[in-house]
Every structure is written in C-alpha cells, then in structure tokens.
Amino acid sequence: MKSSPKLNIAIIGTGNIGTDLLVKTMRSKYLTCTLFAGRNFNSPGMKRANDLGVTISDRGIEAIVSDPAICDLVFDCTSAHAHVEHWAILQKLGKTVIDMTPAKLGELCVPAINAVECLATGARNINMITCGGQASIPIANALSQVHGDIEYIEVASSIASRSAGPATRYNLDEYIETTQAALQKLSGARRTKAILILNPANPPIDMQTTIYAKIAEPDMAAINASVLAMVEKIKAYVPGYQLIVPPTQDGGKVITTVKVLGAGDYLPQYAGNLDIINCAAIAMAELIAQTDSYREPQA
C-alpha cells in the first residue's frame, strides 16, 4: 500500500452522481480529477466542474480514447447500457473502472464486506451495485455471519423521487436484478427480493431501507451485536448511515431498518441514496490509489 502520488481519475457522466463524485474527489488525499466528461457544456455539472478548474469535455468516453494518459481510473456514471460499450473500450485501454451503474459486468463490491477480496483478485471493473444494495447488503451480510443458512431476504428502499435522475429511472430493471444478485452472493441467502419505491412527497423524504429476513430460530442477541458492528464499519465511510429500527423478531421474520442522510456535498441531505453509493465508490478508489499493483500497466 502507498499514500502518494495521487491517482488520476476521470468521471464520465456529468449528472448528479458524477458531479457529487467530483466534489468528493476534490477533498481526497489520494485522488485528483483530471477529466470530467459528458455531452453538454451547459449542464449544471459541467459548469460546476469548470468553476472548480477541472478539465471538461463534451465528448464523453471519446475524450479518454483520444488521450488515454489523462487518467488511471474511470468512474462510469452513465447508464447500465452505456457501460457495456464503455467497458469494452476502457478494458482495451488498460483502465481500472468503478462502475456506478447496475450493469453487473464487474466485481460486485460493498467496501465494508469485500473490498480486500476485490483488490486481491486484481479486479479492473468494480461494480458498486446500487444505492439500495449499498444500504441493505451489509445488514444482510451481518445476519449471515450469525445464521449461515438464511431462507429468504427481502429489502425495500424508499427514496425521494427528486433524487432519482433519468439514468436511475431508465435502469430500474437492472437495479432490481443487480441488487438481488448481490444480495444473494454476499449474504448466501437462498432467495432474495429487492424493491425500490420512488416517493414523491414534498418535502422530500430521507432514504430508508428495511431488511426482512426469514430465519429459523434467530439468535437475536448475536444478530444485534453483528448488525451494530456492521453499522460502525459502514459509518467509517458513510457518516450519515444510521440504524433507526434495531433487529426485531416478528413471527418468523427478523426486521430492521436503516436510514441514510447525505453529506450535502453537492446534493441535498435527503439524497442519501446517491451519497451512499458515491461514498462507497470513493472508499474503493482511495484503496486502489494506495495499492501498488493497480498502478502497474496491465499485460
């Protein structure tokens, strides 16, 4: 592991997620944004990047193709469909990619659970799953540490409609499929289900995610200890992550709820759904920046 020099990163996609990531990288000790690329110079994100003195482009991924040396790592903040095309290009260029879309092409990653494993495999495409996945999978994993054979886990995330941009709405099917797949992989549950609710309430609601698990004869004391330990691990990189309903036994189910408040870097605090996935992505990028093998050219 190393702490310097900073890793050069590019951001493709200049919407809410991309712009919030940009603001977060500006205060990172390990990352520096050398390119912010989208399609519209007049977008709010482009204007913010320009004000911050970051190199901008309206050529999208072509800005990297024309100057591959501009970055070492790419955050893809576009859409699941676009990422398929982008990865084919970036893989040939030898770039490491953190995929912010639910494309499910790369290594499914929740930093608190499998960051070390992702780095150990040398994964060059790291998928941050979904906002609901980043909120719920750590709790599901904590349950599985106590009970290794969970029959069924269901997660329901409710987010402010205002915090769901065009890409999120366009990728709803991929959101469900990727969240369910990651839940199953990282919890070991036999069956999983994911639900996303876009709440139009005004004022906007904070992100909340409820986890339901069907567990035979749950050890509630051990479950509570495991969940509390996991919450502390998440709070290390997502300060706004809160356990608001501790694990409770209700019939044959264990139920618990978490809330995520955003840091307010670029987006309102209620957009905790975007903040948690961005915080997870920054945590992974900073680990990559400190890992020697990721700075070596790919064969």
CA-based torsion, 26, 32, 35, 38: positive or negative: negative
Structure-token pair, residue 144: 């599985």
How many residues does the structure list for the chain? 299
- What does the pLDDT read at residue 170? 86
Residue recorded with tokens 């004022």: 203
pLDDT of residue 54: 98
Indicate the pLDDT class of residue 86, thresholds 50, 70 and 90: very high
Q: Is 104 left (phi over 0), alpha (psi -120 to 50) or beta?
A: left
Q: How far apart are CA 128 and CA 182, in angstroms?
A: 10
- At residue 166, the pLDDT reads 83
- Half-sphere CA count of 115, side-chain side, radius 13 A: 18
Query: CA–CA separation, 144 vs 165, rounded Å?
Result: 33
Over residues 27-76, the pLDDT tens digits come to 999 999 999 999 999 999 999 999 999 999 999 999 999 999 999 999 99
- The answer to whether residue 3 scores a pLDDT higher than 90 is no
Q: What is the mean pLDDT of the chain?
A: 95
User: Quick check: 76 and 277 in contact, CB under 8 A?
Assistant: no
Beta bridge partners of 28: none
What is the reported pLDDT for 168?
84
Q: Which residue in the block uniquely carries the two structure tokens 């330990």?
A: 229
- CB-based contacts of 191, cutoff 8 Å, min separation 6: 151, 152, 153, 184
Q: Which of 71, 109, 131, 279 is catalytic?
A: 131
Q: What is the pLDDT of residue 151?
A: 96
Split at pLDDT 50, 70, 90, the class of 296 is low
Task: Give pLDDT tens digits for 62-84.
Answer: 999 999 999 999 999 999 999 99
- What's the rounded Cα separation, in Å, for the pair 225 and 59? 50
DSSP 297: P
Measure the N-to-C terminal CA separation of the chain; round to a whole number of Å. Answer: 21
In the block, tokens 């905790």 appear at: 272
Are the beta carbons of 243 and 226 closer than 8 angstroms?
Answer: no
In the residue annotation, 33 being an active-site residue is answered as no
pLDDT (average), residues 176-185: 97
pLDDT of the residue at 235: 98
Sheet holding 191-199, edge to edge: 191-199, 152-160, 207-214, 253-260, 241-250
pLDDT for residue 181 is more than 70 = yes
Q: Provide, rounded to the nearest whole percent, the portion of the chain with pLDDT above 70.
A: 97
Q: What's the pLDDT band for 4 if we cut at 50, 70, 90?
A: low
Measured between alpha carbons, how far is residue 276 from residues 91, 101, 121, 191, 229 in Å? Answer: 26, 14, 24, 25, 18
